[in-house]
């Protein structure tokens, strides 16, 4: 089945009681057994599994082309579980430019004996130099947050094979509509479902999809059940509903982002635009190869520095000034401020999540805000 069909039909079960077309929400925390003590259906207890969560997990696994999908309560809970598949003394290599929450979590896990280093994974030389004999996981985020650096997933997979490391790709920004890391050989695809999957800025969630069944998938399932950071039935239902429109939303957002990137690139008040769809972007060639579109996220730096960034932010009227991304409404944020004093983002940078408003209206808003 094609991705649009999976998004609508994946994990779908006919309702035998009423013939309801829309999936029902099963709030029950526990599931009955018959007089012989056998379970009536496939589920026992909602922390270990629930009909709404199963539908979500099956659909996302199919969208990513993996054997098993595991849903978590947030993107960070998913990332935490992935890191917990490692053992004390193992080394994880992650990109310099990465969601700051992931960076903080990886560093915090040093307390439990995890060794970590960060390198420019978009630069093969720097990447190779950072590999260690005990590297057991390469954590990739491409496009990266917030600088939209591009990492060549197939190249990382080959290098990881040489040291026997797993490759985990945070695919939140691209979504399986634009990029399928497991088909490029990665072992795990991760998501903050809070973003494009939910798509409406009203639900938190996370996902891990395993390319293959095996010990890592088993360990993740055991962490999901044992640590219990799972989404509830209603959250699972909301995310599953969001997935139905994922392909159309992401493609429309990608088209609009390309228009905005070109407009900003030509604007004299803008010093740099970070968008992999622009031919001058250092990751353009790799992105063209491994992505089916360049995505709905972009960031740009103001020629007038931090003061100009603050002024533009203040003048925008249509964009909501808020963190997060992937919803139907366009968002803008001063990333340095959001990341706090330890952030690495340039102070003159604004990050945009392009929504589903008409791109001409978004452009007009930006044009007005960029006026001196």
Query: Which residues of the chain form contacts with ligand PLP (CB under 6 A)?
Result: 74-76, 99, 101-102, 141, 145, 170, 172-173, 192, 194, 204, 206
Catalytic residue among 195, 211, 240, 249: 195
CB of 99 to ligand PLP, least distance (A): 4
Q: How many residues are present in the chain?
A: 372
Nearer to ligand PLP, 61 or 169 (CB): 169
CB of 193 to ligand PLP, least distance (A): 7
Tell me if the bond preceding 172 is cis, omega within 30° of 0.
no
Nearer to ligand PLP, 6 or 76 (CB): 76
CA atoms of 336 and 310, how far apart (whole Å): 11
Bridge-based pairing of strands 115-119 and 331-334 is unpaired
Burial status of residue 270 (CB atoms within 10 A of its CB: 0-12, 13-18, 19 or more): buried
Q: Does the active-site annotation cover 284?
A: no
CA atoms of 355 and 368, how far apart (whole Å): 19
Q: Which residue is nearest to ligand PLP (CB)?
A: 75
Chain centroid to Cα 149, Å, comes to: 14
Catalytic residue among 96, 97, 170, 365: 170
Catalytic residue among 96, 99, 103, 152: 99
* Maximum CA extent, the chain: 77
Nearer to ligand PLP, 75 or 233 (CB): 75
CB of 100 to ligand PLP, least distance (A): 9
Q: Does the active-site annotation cover 45?
A: no
CB of 77 to ligand PLP, least distance (A): 7
Nearer to ligand PLP, 74 or 253 (CB): 74
Q: What are phi and psi of 223, to 5 degrees?
A: -70, -40
CB of 167 to ligand PLP, least distance (A): 16
Nearer to ligand PLP, 186 or 369 (CB): 186
Q: Are 284 and 291 in contact (CB under 8 A)?
A: no
Q: What are phi and psi of 352, to 5 degrees?
A: -120, 135
CA atoms of 220 and 202, how far apart (whole Å): 26
- Residues annotated as catalytic are 47, 99, 170, 195
């Amino acid at each position: 089945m094609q991705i649009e069909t999976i998004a609508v039909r994946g994990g779908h079960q006919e309702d035998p009681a009423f013939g309801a077309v829309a999936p029902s929400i099963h709030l029950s925390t526990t599931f009955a057994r018959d007089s012989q003590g056998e379970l009536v259906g496939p589920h026992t207890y909602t922390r270990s599994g629930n009909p709404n969560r199963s539908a979500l997990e099956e659909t996302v696994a199919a969208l990513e082309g993996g054997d098993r999908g595991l849903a978590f309560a947030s993107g960070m809970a998913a990332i935490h579980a992935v890191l917990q598949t490692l053992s004390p003394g193992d080394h994880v290599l992650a990109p310099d430019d990465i969601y700051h929450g992931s960076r903080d979590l990886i560093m915090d896990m040093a307390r439990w004996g995890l060794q970590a280093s960060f390198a420019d994974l978009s630069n093969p030389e720097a990447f190779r130099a950072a590999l260690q004999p005990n590297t057991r996981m390469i954590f990739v985020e491409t496009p990266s947050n917030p600088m939209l650096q591009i990492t060549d997933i197939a190249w990382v997979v080959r290098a990881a094979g040489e040291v026997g490391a797993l490759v985990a790709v945070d695919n939140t920004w691209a979504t399986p509509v634009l990029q399928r890391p497991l088909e490029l050989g990665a072992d795990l695809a991760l998501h903050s479902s809070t973003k494009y999957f939910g798509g409406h800025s009203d639900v938190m969630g996370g996902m891990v999809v395993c390319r293959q069944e095996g010990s890592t998938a088993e360990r993740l399932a055991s962490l999901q059940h044992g640590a219990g950071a799972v989404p509830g039935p209603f959250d699972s239902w909301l995310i599953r509903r969001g997935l139905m429109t994922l392909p159309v939303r992401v493609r429309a957002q990608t088209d609009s982002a390309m228009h905005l990137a070109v407009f900003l690139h030509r604007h004299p008040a803008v010093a740099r635009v970070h968008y992999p769809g622009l031919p001058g972007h250092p990751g353009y060639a790799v992105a063209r190869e491994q992505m089916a579109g360049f995505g709905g996220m972009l960031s740009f730096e103001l020629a007038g520095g931090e003061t100009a960034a603050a002024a533009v932010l203040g003048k925008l009227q249509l964009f909501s000034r808020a963190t997060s991304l992937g919803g139907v409404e366009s968002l803008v944020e001063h990333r340095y401020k959001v990341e706090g004093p330890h952030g690495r983002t340039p102070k003159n940078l604004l990050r945009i999540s392009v929504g589903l408003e008409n791109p001409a209206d978004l452009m007009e808003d930006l044009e007005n805000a960029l006026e001196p």
